[in-house]
Amino acid sequence: MHKLLQSNFGRLVFFIFLGFIIFLAGNRVDELRVYQGATLAMFVVAISSIILLTGYSGQVSLGHGALLAIGGYSAVLARNYWTLPIWICFAIAVLVAAAAGAVLGTAAARLSGPYLAGTTLALAVGLPSIANQFSFLGGEQGLLFDVGAPPVSLGADFSPYKWYFWIAASAALIALWWLQNILRSRYGRTWRAVRGNEIAAQLAGIHSGKAKTLAFTVSSGLAGLAGALLAMTIGTVSPSAFPLTLSFSLLTGAVLSGVTTLPGVMIGAVTLVATPEISHAISNRIGGSDGVTTNLPGLLVSALLILVVMLVPNGPVEQMRSMRVRKNASISR
């Protein structure tokens, strides 16, 4: 099985099989779980963009929520003003966000550490106020996003939320399969070389600035897709849908997943989706006030983040992989 997944064809077969299982499961759960499944798929794509940027190219972004907003607004505008098919709207979201990422990445290639983090943070803080200045963006109320009714061939019992789930899950599987191939190509090796030792990479003939800009562009395109999926799932796009806390949540999800490894992305996504429900159950159990209910999810995620950084700083998946390598090394001796 492991050798099969090493090949492109094997990974394609695996993702098709996984998609089949997901779609079967989506038809057998209630509306709430289907909605959570669509949200989970969105987080998978968004966290993957952080892992690519930070874990593979060594660039830190604290404002990825702004790139999600660019993708979300682009998809909604394309749908509302041009009445384009939904898949073209998603493609436009990817392209516009990637173009914005290319511009930002050109500047980011000259920055590092806290300077880059501060620049992206400023973007996330300033973007909502910019959106409020233009009437065609809907102001504070935002714009509605109607992706259309499910195909009649799927049956009368096929709800819109199931349709959203199918779209989001398909987009996530395609994005992950494509990203796996990119990270295993020479581009992925170049990004890892720049992250490991930028000076050594330059001596080897790698243009670190171009490599960082490309990584930021690809990461931004994925973030744009995630923003379009988020807008589809909640049915609207507005400044309040992309708060600063979203950027921090995505970064937290990437750390929980293991920021240097893509296979653990599901761990961070499940954590972000499940935390509100867990905090709501705890709040009801202890009889907490509205303030406790509001702040408890952030507290739980922060506490979990601290524990992960202390106990498994590279993420659970990378930790298990390291343990397996050490065990095999000890056996071979």
Task: Say if CB 159 and CB 27 are below 8 A apart.
Answer: no
> Residues 62-79: pLDDT tens digits?
889 999 999 999 999 999
Whether residue 48 is predicted with pLDDT greater than 90 in this model: the reply is yes
pLDDT in tens, 126-135: 887 787 788 8
Provide the pLDDT for residue 261: 81
Closest Cα partner for 37 from 150, 203, 164, 195? Answer: 164
- Residue 177 phi/psi, 5-degree rounding, is -60, -45
Q: Give the Cα-Cα-Cα angle 168, 169, 171 (nearest 5 degrees).
A: 65
Task: Read off the tokens for 24.
Answer: 């079967």
Q: In terms of Cα–Cα distance, which of 285, 303, 283, 302 is closest to 293?
A: 283
Q: What is the mean pLDDT of residues 234-242?
A: 92
Backbone angles phi, psi at 135, to 5 degrees: -65, -35
* Phi, psi dihedrals of residue 173, rounded to the nearest 5°: -65, -45
User: What SS3 class is residue 121?
Assistant: helix
Which 8-state DSSP code applies to residue 150?
A: P
Note the pLDDT of residue 35. 92
Q: What is the pLDDT of residue 286?
A: 77
Token pair belonging to 85: 């098919």
Proportion of the chain above pLDDT 70, given as a percent = 92
Between 107 and 240, residue with greater pLDDT: 240
Question: CA–CA separation, 90 vs 129, rounded Å?
Answer: 24
Residue 258's H or E segment, with its range, is: none
Q: How far is CA 146 from CA 138, 163, 320, in A?
A: 15, 12, 43
User: Residue 237: beta bridge partners?
Assistant: 143
* Distance between CA atoms of residues 145 and 161, nearest Å: 13
CA dihedral sign of residues 242, 182, 217, 96: negative
CB 79 within 8 A of CB 89: yes
Confidence of residue 333 (pLDDT cuts 50, 70, 90): low
Of the candidate ranges 28-32, 98-102, 219-223, the one whose mean pLDDT is the lowest:
28-32
Which has more confidence, 95 or 22? 95
The predicted structure's pLDDT at residue 60: 86
DSSP state of 298: H
Task: Give me the pLDDT at residue 158, please.
Answer: 82
From residue 82, give the alpha-carbon distance in Å to each of 75, 92, 96, 327: 10, 12, 16, 58
pLDDT mean across residues, the chain = 85
User: Where does 86-185 have alpha helices with state H?
Assistant: 86-108, 113-131, 160-183
User: Cβ(145)–Cβ(236) under 8 Å?
Assistant: yes
Domain spans, the chain: 2-242, 244-333
Which residues, listed in sequence order, are joined to residue 303 by a DSSP beta bridge?
none
pTM greater than 0.75 (yes/no)? yes
Q: What is the pLDDT of residues 75-127, one digit of tens each?
A: 999 999 999 999 999 999 999 999 999 998 887 777 766 777 888 888 888 88
pLDDT tens string 245-303? 888 889 888 988 888 888 889 888 988 998 888 887 887 777 666 666 677 777 887 78
Other CB atoms within a 10 A radius of the CB of residue 286 amount to: 9
Residue 51 in tokens: 């892992």
Average pLDDT (169-186) is 92
What pLDDT does residue 124 have?
86
Q: How far apart are the first and last CA of the chain?
A: 26
- The strand ranges marked E within the chain are 143-144, 236-237
Asked if pLDDT for residue 174 goes beyond 60, the answer is: yes
pLDDT digits (tens, 9 = 90+) for 182-191: 998 999 999 9
Is 5 strand, coil or helix? helix
| Burial class for 93, CB neighbours closer than 10 Å (0-12, 13-18, 19+) | buried
pLDDT of residue 1: 45
Under the banding of pLDDT at 50, 70 and 90, the label for residue 229 is very high
- Among 214-223, 240-249, 277-286, 316-325, the range scoring the smallest mean pLDDT is 316-325
Determine the pLDDT at residue 237.
94
Closest Cα to residue 255, out of 189, 203, 302, 324?
302
162: which 2 tokens? 């199931």
